[in-house]
Structure 1
Amino acid sequence: MPVTLHPVDRAAWEADAQARLDLSRIYADAPPERLPASADAFIEEHLGEGGRFLCACFNDRLIGAVAQRDDGEAWWLSHFCIRKPTRRRGVGTRLLTLVGQSAHRAGRPLRAELDQLRMADQVLLVRLGYRLEQRDGFHELHLPEGCQR
């Protein structure tokens, strides 16, 4: 499955109707306890705060996403979600690999607040080869060997 990384910021959200529809569908598939509001309200709020979404793109459709914000020191990740029809096909693994590579090229470590990484998320990341280092209220995600390209 040739998945590519497609960033969606405020400008892309406003200009691309297909990206709006796809991103809304991705987060509509999220378990309700994972989102602080409805899918569209969550997306609008995140983009309004200067965040963006790093999305998995396949056949010109967005099929997975992770919310990302850059504080100038690190990339903070949250709200990782893959569309239900494409789960268990390696999309999440590929998305995390692409995000890690992109962050490495930008010279930014990946971080996630402790409350954003549930146990299942942590297990997945460790199985993918990430090393999680717990710090003051967050995890720093260290890329697996060979993923820094």
Structure 2
Amino acid sequence: MPVVVELLGPNLTEQDRQDLLKIYADAPEGLLTSEQSITTLIEQASQATHLLGARFNSRLLGAAVLKPEATHWTLSHLCVRALTRRRGVGSRLLDEATRLATEAGFPLQLQGVRNELGVLALIERAQKA
């Protein structure tokens, strides 16, 4: 079964919330500062329907915030559970964000923790595309 990337709306299930807390608990240092900031991020992003989730077998493995701006769209807070990293989940999130931004007629900009190797690899991949 493939990883499916979807926009998560304001009607998150309790399991989705638990999965998102686990995803962001594994975040690289500097991405989020506390459990409270994780909860705030989840609530704000899901209410605005700008939260992308990567799902496998009905469980979320990764997430990112996709924010439309006036001149571009920004992808931030990209994070994948530590147990699932290096399996293409982050790439799937990036691909879907790129597709959505392109369909809307805007370029996508990535925002992340610059010293995180996984984020650096995704940024390099996006710049080549």
Measured on the aligned residues, the alpha-carbon RMSD in Å equals 2.3
Structure 1 gap segments, 5+ residues each:
132-142, 145-149
**Quick one: distance in 1 between partners of 2:73 and 2:49?**
10
Secondary structure at 1:63 match in 2: strand
Partner of 2:11: 12
Q: What is the CA–CA distance in structure 2 between the aligned matches of 1:123 and 1:65, rounded to whole Å? A: 17
Contact 2:30 2:113 in 1 (8 A): no
2:31 to 30, 34, 53: 34
Higher strand content, 1 or 2: 1
- State how far apart, in whole Å, the 2-side matches of 1:122 and 1:87 are: 14
Matched residue SS, 1:20: helix
Distance 1:91 1:123 in 2: 13
In the alignment, which of 17, 20, 24 is matched to residue 23 of structure 1? 20
TM-score normalised by length of structure 1: 0.70
Aligned pairs, how many? 125
TM superposition score normalised by structure 2: 0.79
Aligned to 1:118: 114
C-alpha distance in structure 2 between counterparts of 1:101 and 1:45, whole Å:
23
Give 1:73 shift: 3.5
Q: What are the equivalent positions in structure 2 for 1:1-149 lying under 5 Å apart?
A: 2-9=2-9, 11-13=10-12, 16-38=13-35, 39-47=38-46, 50=48, 52-113=50-111, 116-119=112-115, 120=117, 121-126=119-124, 128=125, 130-131=126-127, 144=129
CA distance in 2, matches of 1:59, 1:52: 22
- Which letter maps to 1:103? A
For residues 80 and 94 of structure 1, the distance between their equivalents in structure 2, rounded to whole angstroms, comes to 11
Post-superposition CA distance 1:6-33 (Å, at most 9, x none):
1123x223xx222212112111111342
Say whether the 8 Å CA contact 1:51–1:69 is kept in structure 2: no
Larger Rg: 1
Sequence identity (%): 38
Q: Which has the higher contact order (CA 8 A, sep 6+)?
A: 2
CA distance in 2, matches of 1:56, 1:88: 14
Cα 1:117–1:31, aligned 2, differ >3 Å: closer, same or farther?
A: closer
Instruction: Identify unmatched segments of 5+ residues in structure 2.
Output: none
Query: Within 2, Cα distance between the matches of 1:73 and 1:51?
Result: 19
